Structure formats: structure tokens, C-alpha cells
Structure 1
């Protein structure tokens, strides 16, 4: 079936990013398979992360169907777009329906996007991962694709106003090698290894990020353990 909505939305996003003069540094897109199902797994630091994570699949000419909270699908603007792009609504009280929907899509050869932290990390560090992505990959017999985003929080994130001016923000994205999800291995162990992979990619993205804060007022987007003023992660000694 022809994709009548998704490609134009991607085109509109790229036009916006060009207007904002965002500076992209994306590496590892050759790890995205050109065919077959896969579970793309990303950290979550901003409201636009699904757009940026989805861009990693474009060199392979793939589209990513993201699992997102059901309330986004009820919005009068985003709802029709999300449904037309075949993203998957997740009702946290009835998650099995979304799980089965995603499993069917994976088995039909789709790439499914998952944010295993389930919500934005206000500390901009990795929260604990839920095991759903690993279980999906195991049951569908597809690989996991670890992705790390950095800089997206500066545009729009929880607890901060949108900053969609022409600020030339850099956006750094790293895509790791596909990771097998052995059905014989415990999903929790796969999830631990997956989180470690994403953490490694996140640290690589942070090291490559070309901007350092000019003054103390510009450190809100930097994690406490890196010298910033973002809230410390729960349980952290920072």
C-alpha cells in the first residue's frame, strides 16, 4: 500500500530542520537493514525524539513505526497524522494490544521504534529499560537496533519551553550494530546488554558533541555527572 502521509511529513520535518539550521552528525546508519523486521531502540530526552530516531532509517529507505502513548493519538492534530503513519498507540493499562500489533508488524517486515525508558529522562541520563523491546525481538525473530540521541533536548523537552528558533543547535545521533535477541536467553539479560549498548553510544555521542556551554545559565541540558545543572538521576550520588 502506498505511503501517502509519512514521506510528506518527513519532508516537512527536513524543511523545518533546514530552516532552524540544525547541524546533524549521524553515524552508523549503515547498520539499519534494508529489508526485514527490526526493533529500533533509542534513549528518550525530548519530545521530538521519534522524528530524529526515524531519520536514521532514511538512508536505507525504511520507515519506522513508533510505539507511542495513546494520548498522542487522541490529539486533534497529531492523532490523525500518527494513525496515517501507522504508528502504534500504547494504552499502558492494556499494553498487550499494542504488543500484538507491534509483533504483527515486525513479522510483516516493519521496523518498530521503541523508547524502553517509557518516558523522557529529565536527567538526560539513561533510566531503567523495560523488557518489552527484547521480548518483541525474541518472539518475532528480529534484531535489536540500538540508537543514541544527543542535543534533541535543547529543542523541546519536559519542563522547558520550546526553543525552535534559528539557534544552529547540533544534533548528534549514533546507531549501533544490530543485536541478536536469542529466544533461549532471558529477556531481562538481553535488556541489560541492550541498555549497555545504548549507554556506550550515548557517551560516544556526548564526546562528539561540538558545543560546550558558554556560561552557567546554559548548563540545564547537561547531566549533573558531566558538570551540568540537569536534575540528578534518581538514586544518583550527584
Structure 2
């Protein structure tokens, strides 16, 4: 079936990013399979992360079907677009339906995008990973595709105003080699390997990032362990009552 909505949306996004003069640094796109199913897994630091993950798959001419909160599909603007682009709604009170939907998409050769931290990390460090991505890959017999983003939190993240004007903000995207999901290996072990790989990619993206804070008021987007003023994971956990 022809994709009537997804490609034009991508074109509109590229135009928007060009107008904002975003500096995209994308590496590792050769790891995105040109055909067949895969579970794309990324860290989650901003509201636009799914857009950048999707752009990284375009050199392979792939469209990613992202798993997203069901509430996004109820919105009068985003809802019709999300459904037309065949993204997958996740109702946390009925998670099995979303799992089955994603599994069917993988088995039909689609790439399914998952953020295994479940929510945006406001410390901008990796949170613990849910094992659902690994279980999906194991059951569908497809690889896990690790990815890391850096800089997207400066555009729009939880608790901060959007910065979508002509900002010249660099965004680093790193795609790693596929991680095999052996069905005989416990999903928790696969998840540990996957998280370690995403951590490596994230650190590589941070090292290569060409911008440093401009002053004391511009350190909010840098993790505490790198000298910034973002809350530590422990502080975030205390605030969220984890």
C-alpha cells in the first residue's frame, strides 16, 4: 500500500529543520537494514527524538513505526497523522495489544521504534531499560538496532520551553551495529547488552558534540557528571517518587 502521508511529513520536517539551521551530525546509517524487520532502540531526552531516529533510517529508505503513548493518537492534530503513518499506540493499561501490534509489524518486515526508558530522562543520562524491546526482537526473530541522540534536549524537552526557531543547534545521531537477540538468552541479559551499547553510542555523541555551555545560565542541558546543572539520576528519582 502506498505511503501517502509519511513521506510528505518527512519532507515538511526537513524543511523545518533547514529553516532552523539545525546542524545534523549523523553517523552509522549503514547499519540500518534495507529490508526486513528490526527493533530500533534509542535513548530519550526530548519530545522530538522520534523524528531524528526516523531521519536516520531514511538513507536506507526505511520508515519507522514508533510505539507512542495512546494519548498522542487522541489529539485532534497528531492523532490522524500518527494513524496514517502507521505508528503504534500504547495504552499502558492494555499493553498486550500494543505488543501484538508491534510483533505483527516486525514479522511483516517493518522497523519498529522503541524508547525502552519509557519516559524522557530529565537527567539526560540513560535510565534503566524495560525488557519489552528485547522480547519483541526475540519473538519476531529480528535484530535490535541501537541508536543514541544528543542535542535534541536543547530543542524541546520536559520542563523547558521549545526552542524551534533559527537556533543553529547541533544534533548528533549515532547508529550502532545490530545487536542480536538470541531467543535462548534471558531477555534481561539481552537488555543489559543493548543498554551498554546505547551507552557507548551516547558517550561517543557527547564527546563529538561541538558546543559547550555559553555561560552559567546555559548549563541546564548538560548532565551533572559532565559538569552541567541537570539534575542527577538520584535527584530525578526522588522527585518522581521512584
Q: TM-score range by the shorter chain?
A: over 0.9
Offset from partner CA, 1:27-79 (integer Å, 9 cap, x none): 00000000000000000000000000111110000000000010100111000
Greater share of helix: 2
Partner of 1:119: 119
Query: Where in structure 2 are there 5+ consecutive unaligned residues?
Result: 237-242
Offset from partner CA, 1:123-146 (integer Å, 9 cap, x none): 000000000000000000000000
Residues 1:229 and 2:229 aligned together: yes
Partner of 2:92: 92
Q: State the secondary structure of the residue aligned to 1:93.
A: helix
Q: CA RMSD in A?
A: 0.8
Normalised to the residue count of structure 2, the TM-score between the two structures is 0.97
Residues 1:193 and 2:225 aligned together: no
Q: State the secondary structure of the residue aligned to 2:234.
A: coil
Per-residue deviation, 1:234: 2.2
Per-residue deviation, 1:167: 1.2
Q: Quote the Cα distance in structure 1 between the aligned partners of 2:139 and 2:234.
A: 32
Query: Where in structure 1 are there 5+ consecutive unaligned residues?
Result: none
Q: State the secondary structure of the residue aligned to 1:202.
A: helix
Q: Quote the Cα distance in structure 2 between the aligned partners of 1:193 and 1:93.
A: 28
Residues 1:142 and 2:138 aligned together: no
Structure 1 stretches of 4+ moved >3 Å: none
Q: State the secondary structure of the residue aligned to 1:234.
A: helix
Q: State the secondary structure of the residue aligned to 2:172.
A: strand
Q: State the secondary structure of the residue aligned to 1:86.
A: coil
Q: State the secondary structure of the residue aligned to 1:30.
A: helix
Residues 1:28 and 2:11 aligned together: no
